[in-house]
Amino acid sequence: MPTSQPRHERIVQRFHSIVPTVDFCSLRLVRTQSQYLSVRQNILQPVSTSDDEGAMVTVIDNGGLGYAATSDLSETGLRHAAEQARSWARRSAGRSVVDFSSVAFPRPSGAYASPVQLTWDSLPLADKIDLLRATSEQLKTDERIVDWEASLWHTDSETLFVTADGGQVQQNFSYLVPMMSATANAGTETQTRTFAGRGYCRQGGMELLDQCAFRDAAPQIAAEALELLLAPNCPTGTMDVLLAPDQMILQIHESIGHPLELDRILGDERNYAGTSFVTPDMFGTYRYGSELLNITFDPTRPEEFASYAFDDDGQPARREYLIREGVLVRGLGSTTSQARLGLPGVANARATSWNRPPIDRMANLNLEPGQSRFTDMIAAIERGVYMQTNVSWSIDDSRNKFQFGCEWGRLIENGQLTTVVKNPNYRGVSATFWRSLKMVGASETLEVLGSPYCGKGEPNQVIRVGHASPPCIFVNVEVFGGE
Amino acid sequence: MQEYFCRLADRLTSLLQGKEIYTCTFDAEESDFVRFNHSAVRQAGTVTQRSLSVNLIDGQRHTYGGISLSGDWEEDCAHLAALVTNLRGQLPYLPEDPHLLYATEVRSSEHTGENRLPEDTGAVVASILEAGRGRDLVGIYAAGGIHDGFANSFGQRNWFSSYSYNFDWSFYHQGDKAVKCAYAGLVWNPIEFAHKVATAAKQLAVLAQPARTIAPGRYRVYLAPAALADIVGLLSWGGFGLKDHRTKQTVLLKMTEEGARLHPSITIQENIADGVGTNFQEAGFIKPDRVTLIADGAFRDCLVSPRSAKEYDVPTNGASGGEMPDALDVASGMLPESEVLRQLDTGIYINNVWYLNYSDRTACRITGMTRFATLWVENGVIQAPLNVMRFDETLYRMLGENLAGLTAERELILDSSTYGGRSTASSRLPGAVVNDFTFTL
């Protein structure tokens, strides 16, 4: 997306001309342009593009906070939005969870852009369709493959954040989500294998396709779908599990990311997304996992899906340890949550788009690599299951009792990978599971992944998150298969 | 708003060239959102949004484009013209689509709801805060107009607008112990709201008892309508669409391939006639009043989008592209609601479940958690709140061999979700008593 500098300057001028006399006022402009291309069963599905733009005006006055979102970016439209926001600020003054006038919001200045080597438009539409068609054809390797699909989802997003007192931040993001899947069927058995779910989502350009070997992946995905058709069910019992990075990201997301969000701990999410087993007194002392567990909030890794220089409150973002050598040290909370709780947090006030207010989101949440080589990890397991690619996720509202399932499993017996098994599932309790972390893969095993779909908030918001992780071993886990 | 949309549609018609045709959909809302926590306001604001999605068609070639609209006529027309030019530019590079199908019979319709919402949202907020006084209230009040339109170059015009509120809230005792409530409708009635608050406050008292923890195992349970809605609602995810059935990905594969059946009392419909949303879809087809999905425990019909209809050479029944129900309807049973506790005898009264997912899709085995006022019952009397438990159970056992009865009364549940925009989906369900319901953790 070309930078809209003159247009931005006009909107900034309009904003400054309509700012009401209040304690604080900001404008957050978001323009998002997307294209989705998909070839299913070798047939191009309807091409879909979208161009969405609007702005949110936020007002703080006399302790109350109000917002108004509009796609009318004229002076009249912004003035009307500011009036609505001020009206809400007045109505909520003295009735809010915190005196918002007491929260020190930043006056930011800066810019950010995703690192893009080959832009989306550098490859003509016809060539992108040809790539997907070729990938689709590679997925249909057998009559038992009954459905197959390859897709690319590209998004450019441009944000402008301006405060009435002179702050200004512009950030340009380029996202790419490559995906493919193959579904195999025989009778009442159906198995699907995918390209790490949608895990290979990153910031950047078309060069990402080579980084994640998109062009070469189809034959193996089809072969593994067929392999699963004939595979026995995952055994039941207590054993070790070796989780691949594309399952680790889900484990991190659900049982570390969400419980550490300070707005959950504050209770904001209880009516919908839930609360947390983590309480404020745990920070600094609570043993979350074994000494091998190191978790960082890292918006600085350039290719990761949720990298940025400033959050949606304009707070500068930097890498922080949340869990260090197994001990909980910091939560995932933005400026407002930090002020409400009196605890340190991170720059993670984020909104899905212009039409939703920022809330605490996990952005990039990574499990730092350890020392183990992959072959040594296999060799260390006497009886266990190696699981790849999340397919089922469920966890209680306190983010404690979880049950997750994977697409593909393989037994590990006496230090060797053996039989492929289908429907591998495992369950446990967050508060004890991470303490059973026994081995963490070294840096060469780490994969940078993420998800386009993290749901939270009232009103609802689905946001992008990034996760990087090596494979990990957990001991004495409750494992089971299908019916 | 309707007039604006029709003007845009007419402008779109004027932009066509040669044999081009179009279909388009319009979505708009003006919504107030007030979020509460600890009986105070967390975030309050207004969202005004409008968008138009166009499918430009030339023969069997076509492509979709969506834009947000500002409400300024000149600006929106310029944006629309640019969109059409962009879409037209793509068409030569696209192959013919063998699965393209759109309505050609003009069937216009209009549903214009009356705005009877309170003029002063501040007064509603004040009454909510008053209800939370001395208690721990958390939730979201969403209210305003929702507008949907369809148009095509054949002259079809469909319009739906409604003005509604949905206050989705909980009273918390402590920790994860809470009573979940909903008050949704078209006219805010303070007396009705006060009654709901009083009822919730009464239920809250039960949660003050020491919580009980049960061991994993099998228990008799009562799934209140909201809990059953989540379980049956999960079937919307891959259960009823023709594409899922023809590609053997449906979670009901055992019903279609092996003739597996649910309990004879289970009848499930997509009941658009009694729903609260639109009866038209994005390709211009009008949805039938009802589609019977499961009848007397046996699988009956799929939801068939136009695209699937063309692909599999069957008639469409007006399903949207996702082939998911918008107005799920589960038939009632014979058990009076007043008899539920007696029928349950000793077991678990589950008001809400949470975070459902398939743990074995082929077996339609579903896992999830109990949540919000799940209660331990002995000899027909509520004894104590229950600490959360994980269940993992197949649909065929839950609503098949182990189903002990459905309530005679049903509850209409209006979807409170607001992803992208406020939902107009709904469901109407009874409660269900189920034997040997498996808890695992």
Q: Kindly tell me if the per-residue pLDDT of A155 is higher than 90.
A: yes
Q: Tell if the CB–CB gap between A68 and B45 is shorter than 8 Å.
A: yes
Average pLDDT over residues A1-21: 87
Q: Kindly tell me if the per-residue pLDDT of A6 is higher than 90.
A: no
Residue that has been written with the tokens 């050609």 in this structure: B104
Average pLDDT over residues B49-78: 97
Q: Tell if the CB–CB gap between A458 and B258 is shorter than 8 Å.
A: no
Shortest CB distance from B66 goes to which of A50, A65, A73?
A50
Of A119, A307, A113, A304, residue with least CA distance to A205: A119
pLDDT tens across A442-470, in order?
A: 999 999 999 999 999 999 999 999 999 99
Token output for A245: 């990075």
Nearest CA in chain B to A81: B46
List chain A residues with CB under 8 Å of B358: 392, 405
pLDDT tens across A285-305, in order?
A: 999 999 999 999 999 999 999
Residue that has been written with the tokens 């979102």 in this structure: A69
Residue A335's pLDDT band, with cuts at 50, 70 and 90, is very high
CB contact at 8 A, A266 and A337: yes
CB contact at 8 A, A163 and A199: no
| CA–CA separation, A413 and A165 (whole Å) | 64
List chain B residues with CB under 8 Å of A255: none
Contact with chain B for residue A127, Cβ under 8 A: no
Residue A5's pLDDT band, with cuts at 50, 70 and 90, is confident
List chain A residues with CB under 8 Å of B247: 146-147, 183, 185
Chain A closest CA to B300's CA: distance in Å? 18
Residue A4's pLDDT band, with cuts at 50, 70 and 90, is confident
pLDDT tens across A172-210, in order?
A: 999 999 999 999 999 999 999 999 999 999 999 999 999
Shortest CB distance from A268 goes to which of B42, B71, B142?
B42
List chain A residues with CB under 8 Å of B306: none
* pLDDT (0 to 100) of residue B114: 95
CB contacts < 8 A (A, B):
260
List chain A residues with CB under 8 Å of B398: none
| CA–CA separation, A245 and B356 (whole Å) | 23
CB contact at 8 A, A480 and A234: yes
Strand partners, B79: none
Average pLDDT over residues A401-430: 98
Round the average pLDDT of chain A to a whole number and report it. 97
Shortest CB distance from A427 goes to which of B68, B258, B441?
B441
Token output for A193: 């294998």
CB contact at 8 A, A240 and A472: no
Contact with chain B for residue A75, Cβ under 8 A: no
Q: Kindly tell me if the per-residue pLDDT of B111 is higher than 70.
A: yes
CB contact at 8 A, B439 and B340: no
Token output for B405: 């009865």
Q: Tell if the CB–CB gap between A427 and B94 is shorter than 8 Å.
A: no
Q: Tell if the CB–CB gap between B45 and A69 is shorter than 8 Å.
A: yes
Q: Tell if the CB–CB gap between B418 and A460 is shorter than 8 Å.
A: yes
Q: Kindly tell me if the per-residue pLDDT of B266 is higher than 70.
A: yes
Contact with chain B for residue A143, Cβ under 8 A: no
pLDDT tens across B356-403, in order?
A: 999 999 999 999 999 999 999 999 999 999 999 999 999 999 999 999
Shortest CB distance from A50 goes to which of B43, B65, B95?
B65
| CA–CA separation, B133 and A65 (whole Å) | 21
Average pLDDT over residues A296-322: 97
Shortest CB distance from B367 goes to which of A271, A357, A403?
A403
Q: Tell if the CB–CB gap between B44 and A73 is shorter than 8 Å.
A: no
List chain B residues with CB under 8 Å of A182: none
Nearest CA in chain A to B364: A483
Q: What is the 3-state secondary structure (H, E, C) of chain B?
A: CHHHHHHHHHHHHHHCCCCCEEEEEEEEEEEEEEEEECCEEEEEEEEEEEEEEEEEEECCEEEEEEEECCCCHHHHHHHHHHHHHHHHHHHHHCCCCCCCCCCCCCCCEEEECCCCCCCCHHHHHHHHHHHCCCCEEEEEEEEEEEEEEEEECCCCEEEEEEEEEEEEEEEEEECCEEEEEEEEECCCCHHHHHHHHHHHHHHHHHHCCCCECCCCEEEEEEECHHHHHHHHHHCCCCCCEHHHHHCCCCCCHHHHHCCCCCCCCCCEEEEHHHCCCCCECCCCCECCCEEEEEECCEECCCECCHHHHHHHCCCCCCCCCCCCCCEEEECCCCECHHHHHHHHCCEEEEEEEEEEEEEECCCCEEEEEEEEEEEEEECCEEEEEECCCEEEEEHHHHHHHCEEEEECCCEEEECCCCCCCCCCCEEEECCEEEEEEEECC
Tell how far CA B206 is from the center of its chain.
30
Shortest CB distance from A97 goes to which of B37, B48, B247?
B37
Round the average pLDDT of chain B to a whole number and report it. 97
In the stretch 104-123 of chain A, residues with CB closer than 8 A to chain B read: none
ipTM, 2 dp: 0.96
Q: Tell if the CB–CB gap between A270 and B138 is shorter than 8 Å.
A: yes
Token output for A152: 């690319």
Residue A369, classed as helix, strand or coil, is: coil
> Which of A403, A427, A462 best probes binding to B when mutated, by most B CB atoms within 10 angstroms?
A403
Tell how far CA A335 is from the center of its chain.
20
Q: Tell if the CB–CB gap between A396 and B369 is shorter than 8 Å.
A: yes
Chain A closest CA to B335's CA: distance in Å? 30
| CA–CA separation, A309 and A319 (whole Å) | 11
Residue A3's pLDDT band, with cuts at 50, 70 and 90, is low
pLDDT tens across A90-130, in order?
A: 999 999 999 999 999 999 999 999 999 999 999 999 999 99
Put simply, whether the predicted model's pTM sits higher than 0.90 gets the answer yes
Q: Tell if the CB–CB gap between B388 and A397 is shorter than 8 Å.
A: yes
Of B239, B185, B184, B271, residue with least CA distance to B356: B239
Tell how far CA B53 is from the center of its chain.
22
In the stretch 231-250 of chain A, residues with CB closer than 8 A to chain B read: none
Q: Tell if the CB–CB gap between A403 and B254 is shorter than 8 Å.
A: no
Average pLDDT over residues B55-69: 98
pLDDT tens across A35-63, in order?
A: 999 999 999 999 999 999 999 999 999 99
Find all residues with CB under 8 Å of B37, minimum gap 6, and list them.
A97, A266, A267, A268, A270, B138
Q: Kindly tell me if the per-residue pLDDT of A2 is higher than 80.
A: no
Of B62, B52, B123, residue with least CA distance to B92: B62
List chain A residues with CB under 8 Å of B65: 48-51
Q: Tell if the CB–CB gap between B257 and A48 is shorter than 8 Å.
A: no
| CA–CA separation, A309 and A324 (whole Å) | 23
Shortest CB distance from A188 goes to which of B79, B178, B362?
B362
Specify burial of residue A4 (Cβ count, 10 A radius: 0-12, 13-18, 19+): middle
List chain A residues with CB under 8 Å of B254: 188
